[in-house]
Amino acid sequence: MRNRIILIGLVVLLGFWLGARANRPVVKDSKAEVARRALADRRARKRRKALKRKLGLG
């Protein structure tokens, strides 16, 4: 009987903990911020420059 009460208590605590964690807000970046970060990325700039040279555009 005591083991069953302990088990039920653990299940309730686990459920409470998971429920508290599931309700956290997710901060998402705006599309403009994502685009700004992608354009400012050093490797992406290098790739664009190499592609430009390869295509003969500058």
Query: What's the pLDDT at 28?
Result: 85
Amino acid 4: pLDDT: 93
pLDDT of 25 reads: 78
DSSP 1-58: -HHHHHHHHHHHHHHHHHHHHHT-------HHHHHHHHHH-HHHHHHHHHHHHHHT--
Q: Residue 27 has what pLDDT?
A: 80
pLDDT in tens, 3-58: 999 999 999 999 888 887 777 777 888 889 888 888 888 898 898 899 899 998 86
Query: Given this model, what pLDDT does residue 22 score?
Result: 76
